[in-house]
Structure 1
Amino acid sequence: MFREMRRGKQLLSMEETIAVMERCTNGTMACLGDEDYPYSVPLSYVYYNNKVYFHSAKAGHKIDAITKHSKVSFSVIDEDTIVSQEYTTYFRSVIAFGKARITEGEERLEAFRALVEKYSEDQPEEAKHREITGCTQACIFAIDIEHITGKEAIEYVNAKRK
């Protein structure tokens, strides 16, 4: 169902792909928006339990698009160094495909905890707990990943071989 990467030598291992997902702090989710126009939106996220979790308001373009059609793609760029003399960039990125859904119950709490830990780990435990249990305005979404690949510039591949 999902295409194989055309430049297979540049494919990251699953371990490297997961490491990119864990260390990046933002990505873009693409979905089918109003009148079937593509809609790509930047998100803060956490990769947790092999899923992508993010928060959202309870109303708006993002939630309308996901409710209409749950299939999405999510991408992150880990590295993007311009190498002007070579007319290129040295890059590392990941793209995931899956279905987005609103989380509930214990999954919502766990995902919210993971988001808070990723972005506010230096805050006092009681403040984090208040944020997690007291916030009822936000939806927490999960992207259940069906396919994920990472890719890096051929220059990084060649450097690893040396």
Structure 2
Amino acid sequence: MFREMRRKRQQLKEKECRRILACRSAGVLALSGDEGYPYAVPISYVLDGDTLIFHSAKSGHKIDAIRHCDKASFCVIDQDEIVPERFTTYFRSVIAFGRIGIVEDEKEKRRAIEVLARKYSPQQPQADVDMEIEKTWKALTILEMKIEHLSGKEAIELVNRFKEN
């Protein structure tokens, strides 16, 4: 169903893909937008097991696209070092593929926003987190993307650098 990577030496192992997803703060969510045009939007997220969690407004291009087609991909760039003398970049990135939907269950929605809040505001007292969630609750939509496939790749120079060390 999903393509195999052509340059297998540059393929990241699943464990490394998950590490990258767990530690980064933003990525680009790609959906099937209006008139079949791709719609890619930068967005913050959290990895929760085999699920990516996002927050959103209740309406807009992203929500319309998800209602039209639940297939999505999500790309995170871990490294992008420009190496001008080599006319290249030393990159490392991950793409997750899966199905995305709106969380309707109130308990699951609350749990998901708590997980997001803890990622981005880990030092905040729980009372402050609760107050912020309550303040934005009515306007809040939670999206979950169930990961079906992960693919990660790095520049060949990084592969070779790690082999030398």
TM-score normalised by the shorter chain: which range applies?
Answer: over 0.9
Question: Any runs of at least 4 consecutive aligned residues in structure 1 with deviations exceeding 3 A, and if so which?
Answer: none
Question: SS of 1:136's equivalent?
Answer: helix
Please give the TM-score of this superposition, normalised by the length of structure 1. Answer: 0.96
| Aligned counterparts, 1:31-46, within 5 A | 31-46=31-46
CA displacement at 1:3 relative to structure 2: 0.1
Q: How many corresponding residue pairs?
A: 162
In the alignment, which residue of structure 2 is the partner of 1:158?
Answer: 160
Q: What's the counterpart of residue 143 of structure 2?
A: 141
Cα RMSD, aligned residues only: 1.1
Q: Which residue of 2 aligns with 1:19?
A: 19
Question: CA offset at residue 161 of structure 1?
Answer: 1.2
Q: Can you give the 5+ residue segments of structure 1 that lack an aligned partner in the other structure?
A: none
- Aligned-residue offset at 1:133: 4.4
Counterpart of 1:129, as a letter, is D
Q: Indicate the residue corresponding to 1:98 in structure 2.
A: 98
CA deviations on 1:72-125 (whole Å, 9 max, x unpaired) are 111010100000000000011000111110112332222111110111112122
Report what 2:133 is aligned to: 132
Q: What do residues 54-86 of structure 1 show as CA deviations (whole Å, max 9, x unaligned)?
A: 011001000000001110111010100000000
Residue 149 of structure 1 aligns to a residue whose secondary structure is strand
TM-score, structure 2 normalization: 0.94
Residue 89 of structure 1: aligned partner: 89
- State the distance in 2 between where 1:131 and 1:47 align: 21
Which amino acid in the other structure matches residue 156 of structure 1? L
Distance 1:79 1:23 in 2: 12
For the residues of structure 1 that align with 2:107 and 2:77, how far apart are their CA atoms? Answer: 30
- Secondary structure (helix, strand or coil) at the match of 2:112 reads helix
1:52 alignment partner in structure 2: 52
Gaps of 5+ in 2: none
Distance in 2 of aligned mates of 1:107 and 1:152: 35
Question: How far apart in 2 are the matches of 1:54 and 1:72?
Answer: 13
> What letter matches 1:131 in structure 2?
E
